[in-house]
């Protein structure tokens, strides 16, 4: 059977290929060939068919004729069938790999939602010494603090943030550090926030429990000069917003945050509650209002209810305006704010109700950015639990212009403080201030700048005293150039005439001549070192006689290793001089070492830095600087950790990887945009990252965001935390680029927006 079948197949195959081999393109030339082929076909197939029959009677295999194309395909299929199997790469196939010992289940993926946690412990030694002709005092203390923070992202419940601070102090009572001394030897602070809780597809809620700042509704927040308080409560608050509208409410016991190394809660008598709402239309009109109720008595000086007759008070604010928050070229903004307050429980000689009106606006036209305002208030006007400046009226105007080479600005401020009745009996005071600044870039490495401020103050004393007037002048000019391949060199001259630098000493009069030299030419994007020295000579004529003494300064940031950083801002002047806010050697010096696995350790030394004290008044109040002879040394240990898969890293979503942001908020007294060794940091200022996350500057004005998404971000100051008459120099905030696994550094200046 096997031989017969093979014979039949081979014979048919020969015949099949033989028949098409007969030439068919010229049939007329060989007609006999076709006849022979068709005639022999049946004779040849008949024996084949007989041989194909099985002896068992089974049907013979069916044989079909193949043309040339089908035969070629059959041959190719046979060749492919004999080929070895194709190579299959199983390197990335997790199912083909053996499980590692102790690896756990194969489906143990990171949890959804990034969790970040950090904890820091700080120990400090404090020293204060006063050696004057009338007073000799030496005080010491030591303190221990603990700060912790936990952030947890969720997919449908927003982001949860838990912050906790605790402190313990032993030793003498003394006013040291970035905030006022705390009442008692210990204190705590606890805050729980839920940010971005989705209520609908376009509506979110922000909720806070614990120690927090009393909120002001969006359309009533400080813009340039007007500030409606910065009170602190221990309670609860909520804010519901959708991008155009918001409703906010809060209730809690009145408090303040004091003490070191971390400010903690100190309770005040009474409560504070508020209810506010804002709405913005697409055509840029906006309206808003807020109602506050405060109660309490026997409170601290400068509080709205320090009067023993005051039991409670209600205040309201209503605003109407037009224009965007940040002005582009050709845009303008106008805002009117009406205020009303009423106090209960006052003596008959005191005013119960008061009102005030603020009108302010801005214009950006042809590159000129104008800001202006008018205001007038009645005596004993308050908002929340803080007085606005009593019977204060005035106006202000400011214009700034920035070109490719030239930037300049000018301003005028006129105010009157008249206390015809109320708690202040100091008499009326009228003041006007004119200021201007300009900076011109000569070429790529050379520039020149000038800043001038002239002020005239006239105060009416009691009826039996004559009028007195005082005029002050401040002028500072610089020339920056570059010699050869050296880093930039700057020469500066500063002139002061009867200028108030601090409130606890005489007015400053004299001249300073300084040479400032940068020594590092590196322009790397991350881990950029900095080493700038200042040498100067001062002639001081503030008090009787004349003093001549040298001055010096140092601005330092250096990485001894990629994981070890040293930074400092030191300034030296005479111990009896009056041309600076500090005396002797002052400033800060710090170091930080990365220990690995999220651990960091460091130390910081603070010396003789002036302290900032606000008057406690809202409105257009001013801050006061006070010299100190205080020193503190702190060491700290910190651990940062994170786990889980990020839904949207800190900052804008959609970025890959993360980095870190460090910066300093400083007083830019001469408006040159650069920090000098004599310009210290601003403590207690809240810094906002992308208008969502916040942190507070420390005693040296430094802040940090530890885990931030790579890419473009924007930093902004919460203006309510910046003490007047200082304000932000950049209305729209400061842009910053965060590198992958790198460090982004920045300095944010605050400048004078009014007053002397």
- DSSP-H helix ranges across 186-256: none
For residues 705 and 716, what is the distance between their CA atoms, to the nearest angstrom?
13
Note the pLDDT tens digit of each residue in 131-185: 665 667 788 889 999 999 998 988 889 999 999 999 998 887 655 444 445 556 7
Report domain extents, the chain.
2-79, 146-388
Q: How far is CA 106 from the centre of its chain?
A: 40
Over the range 211-245, which residues count as b (16 or more CB within 10 Å of their CB) and which as e?
bbbbbbbbbbbbbbbbbbbbbbbbbebbbbbeeeb
| Percent with pLDDT over 70 in the chain | 75
The CATH number fitting domain 146-388, selected from 2.60.40, 2.40.160, 3.40.50, 3.10.450: 2.40.160
* In contact, 540 and 578? CB cutoff 8 Å: yes
Tell me whether strands 232-241 and 204-213 are parallel, antiparallel or unpaired: antiparallel
Which candidate, 619, 661, 673, 702, places its Cα nearest to that of 178?
A: 702
Name the helix (H) or strand (E) containing 40. Answer: helix 31-51
How high does pLDDT run on average in the chain?
79
Average pLDDT of span 77-101: 60
Mapped onto helix, strand or coil, the DSSP state of residue 74 is helix
Note the pLDDT tens digit of each residue in 475-509: 999 999 998 888 999 999 999 999 988 887 889 99
| φ and ψ of 7, to 5 deg | -65, -45
Average pLDDT of span 743-749: 88
Record the pTM: 0.74
For residues 420 and 619, what is the distance between their CA atoms, to the nearest angstrom?
19
For residues 476 and 496, what is the distance between their CA atoms, to the nearest angstrom?
9
Which candidate, 254, 423, 292, places its Cα nearest to that of 346?
A: 423
Average pLDDT of span 187-192: 94
Residue 682's pLDDT band, with cuts at 50, 70 and 90, is confident
* In contact, 526 and 491? CB cutoff 8 Å: no
Q: Residue 414 burial (CB < 10 Å; 0-12/13-18/19+)?
A: middle
The residues pairing with 235 across neighbouring beta strands, listed in sequence order, are 210, 252
Mapped onto helix, strand or coil, the DSSP state of residue 48 is helix
The tokens for 571 are: 């300034």
Note the pLDDT tens digit of each residue in 539-569: 999 987 889 999 999 999 999 998 899 999 9
* In contact, 314 and 341? CB cutoff 8 Å: yes
89-93, 322-326, 503-507, 531-535: range with lowest mean pLDDT: 89-93
Radius of gyration, alpha carbons of the chain = 40
Note the pLDDT tens digit of each residue in 623-632: 677 888 888 9
| Percent with pLDDT over 90 in the chain | 36
176-180, 426-430, 687-691: range with lowest mean pLDDT: 176-180
Average pLDDT of span 348-354: 68
Query: Taking 70 as the threshold, does the pLDDT of residue 438 lie above it?
Result: yes
**pLDDT recorded at residue 245:** 94
**pLDDT recorded at residue 102:** 44
């Amino acid at each position: 059977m096997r031989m017969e079948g093979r014979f039949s197949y081979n014979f048919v195959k020969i015949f099949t290929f033989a028949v098409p081999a007969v030439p068919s393109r010229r049939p007329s030339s060989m007609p006999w060939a076709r006849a022979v082929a068709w005639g022999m076909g049946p004779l040849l197939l008949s024996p084949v068919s007989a041989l194909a029959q099985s002896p068992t009677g089974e049907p013979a295999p069916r044989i079909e004729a193949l043309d040339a194309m089908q035969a070629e395909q059959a041959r190719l299929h046979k060749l492919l069938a004999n080929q070895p199997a194709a190579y299959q790469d199983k390197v990335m196939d997790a199912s083909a790999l053996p499980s590692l010992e102790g690896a756990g289940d194969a489906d143990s993926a990171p949890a959804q939602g990034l969790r970040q946690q950090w904890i820091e412990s700080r120990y400090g030694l404090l020293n204060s010494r006063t050696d004057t002709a009338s007073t000799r005092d030496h005080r010491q203390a030591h303190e221990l603090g603990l700060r912790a923070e936990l952030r947890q992202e969720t997919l449908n419940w927003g982001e949860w943030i838990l912050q906790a601070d605790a402190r313990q102090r032993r030793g003498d009572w003394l006013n040291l550090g970035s905030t006022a001394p705390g009442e008692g030897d210990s204190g705590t602070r606890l805050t729980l926030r839920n940010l971005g809780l989705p209520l609908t597809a376009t509506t979110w809620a922000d909720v806070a429990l614990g120690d927090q700042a009393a909120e002001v509704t969006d359309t009533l927040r400080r813009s340039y000069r007007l500030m409606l308080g910065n009170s602190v409560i221990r309670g609860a608050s909520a804010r519901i917003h959708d991008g155009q509208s918001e409703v906010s409410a809060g209730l809690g016991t009145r408090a303040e945050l004091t003490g070191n190394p971390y400010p903690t809660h100190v309770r005040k008598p009474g409560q504070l509650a508020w209810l506010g709402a804002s709405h913005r239309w697409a055509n840029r009109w906006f309206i808003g209002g807020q109602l506050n109720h405060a109660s309490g008595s026997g409170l601290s000086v400068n509080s709205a209810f320090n009067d023993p007759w005051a039991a409670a008070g209600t205040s309201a604010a209503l605003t109407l305006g037009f224009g965007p928050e940040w002005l582009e070229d050709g845009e303008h903004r106008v805002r009117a704010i009406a205020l009303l307050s009423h106090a209960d429980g006052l003596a008959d000689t005191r005013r119960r109700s008061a009102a005030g009106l603020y009108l302010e606006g801005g214009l950006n036209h042809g590159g000129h950015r104008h800001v202006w305002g008018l205001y007038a208030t009645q005596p004993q006007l308050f908002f929340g639990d803080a007085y606005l400046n009593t019977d204060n009226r005035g106006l202000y105007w400011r214009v700034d212009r920035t070109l490719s080479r030239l930037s300049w600005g000018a301003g005028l401020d006129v105010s009157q403080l008249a206390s015809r009745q109320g708690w202040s009996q100091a008499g009326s005071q009228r003041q006007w201030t004119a200021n201007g600044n300009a900076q011109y870039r000569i070429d790529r490495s050379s520039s020149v700048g000038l800043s001038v401020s002239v002020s005239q103050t006239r105060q009416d004393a009691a009826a039996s005293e004559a009028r007195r007037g005082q005029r002050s002048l401040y002028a500072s000019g610089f020339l920056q150039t570059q010699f050869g391949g050296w880093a930039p060199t700057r020469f500066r001259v500063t002139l002061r005439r009867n200028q108030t630098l601090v409130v606890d000493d005489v007015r400053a009069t004299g001249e300073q001549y300084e040479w400032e030299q940068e020594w590092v030419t590196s322009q790397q994007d991350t881990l950029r070192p900095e080493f700038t020295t200042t040498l100067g000579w001062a002639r001081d004529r503030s008090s009787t006689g004349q003093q001549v003494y040298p001055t010096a300064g140092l601005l330092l940031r250096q990485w001894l290793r990629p994981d070890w950083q040293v930074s400092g801002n030191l300034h030296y002047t005479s111990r009896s001089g009056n041309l600076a806010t500090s005396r002797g050697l002052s400033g800060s010096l710090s170091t930080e070492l990365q220990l690995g696995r999220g651990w960091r350790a460091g130390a910081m030394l603070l010396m003789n830095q002036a302290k900032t004290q606000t008057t406690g008044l809202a409105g257009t109040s001013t801050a006061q600087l006070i010299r100190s002879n205080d020193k503190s040394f702190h060491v700290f240990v910190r651990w940062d950790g994170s786990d889980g898969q990020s839904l949207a890293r800190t900052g804008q979503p959609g970025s890959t990887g993360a980095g870190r942001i460090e910066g300093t908020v400083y007083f830019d007294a001469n408006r040159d945009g650069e920090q000098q060794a004599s310009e210290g940091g601003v403590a207690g200022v809240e810094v906002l990252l992308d208008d969502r996350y916040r942190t507070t500057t420390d005693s040296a004005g430094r802040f940090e965001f530890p885990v931030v998404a790579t890419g473009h971000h924007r930093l902004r100051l919460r203006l309510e935390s910046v003490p007047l008459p200082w304000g932000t120099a950049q209305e729209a905030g400061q842009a910053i680029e965060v590198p992958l696994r790198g460090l982004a550094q920045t300095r944010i200046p605050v400048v004078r927006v009014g007053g002397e």
